[in-house]
Amino acid sequence: MIHERLRLAVESSDLKQKEFALKVGHSPSGFNAIVRGHKKIGKTLALAVQALSGYSADWILTGEGPRLEENLKNLSYWERLVLDVTKNSDRRIAEQVCLWLDSKAGPKKFSFDEKDAWGDRALSRYEELMTETKKILNQMLGHPDGTEKQATFRGMLLILYFGEDEFDSEDDESLFFFDEEDRDLDRIKEIRSELEELIGDGLKG
- Give the Cα separation of 180 and 167 in Å (integer): 13
Residue 30: how many other CB atoms lie within 10 Å = 23
Which pLDDT value is given to residue 177? Answer: 47
- pLDDT tens, the chain, 205 aa long: 888 999 999 988 878 898 888 888 788 888 888 999 888 888 888 888 888 888 888 899 999 888 876 555 555 656 655 555 555 567 878 888 899 999 999 989 888 888 888 999 999 999 999 999 999 999 888 765 555 577 788 888 888 988 876 555 555 555 444 556 678 989 999 999 999 999 987 776 4
The per-residue pLDDT for 102 is: 93
Q: Domain 2-83 - what CATH class? A: mainly alpha
Quick check: 69 and 50 in contact, CB under 8 A? Answer: yes
Per-residue model confidence (pLDDT) at position 20: 87
Q: Alpha helices of 54-179 — where are they, by DSSP H? A: 57-62, 77-86, 90-110, 120-141, 146-162
Task: Report domain extents, the chain.
Answer: 2-83, 89-204
CA–CA separation, 31 and 24 (whole Å):
9
Closest CA to 34 of 150, 137, 138: 150
Residue 118, pLDDT score? 92
Three-state SS for 54? coil
What separation in angstroms does the CA of 148 have from each of 29, 31, 199?
A: 9, 12, 31
CB-based contact 141:133 (threshold 8 Å): no
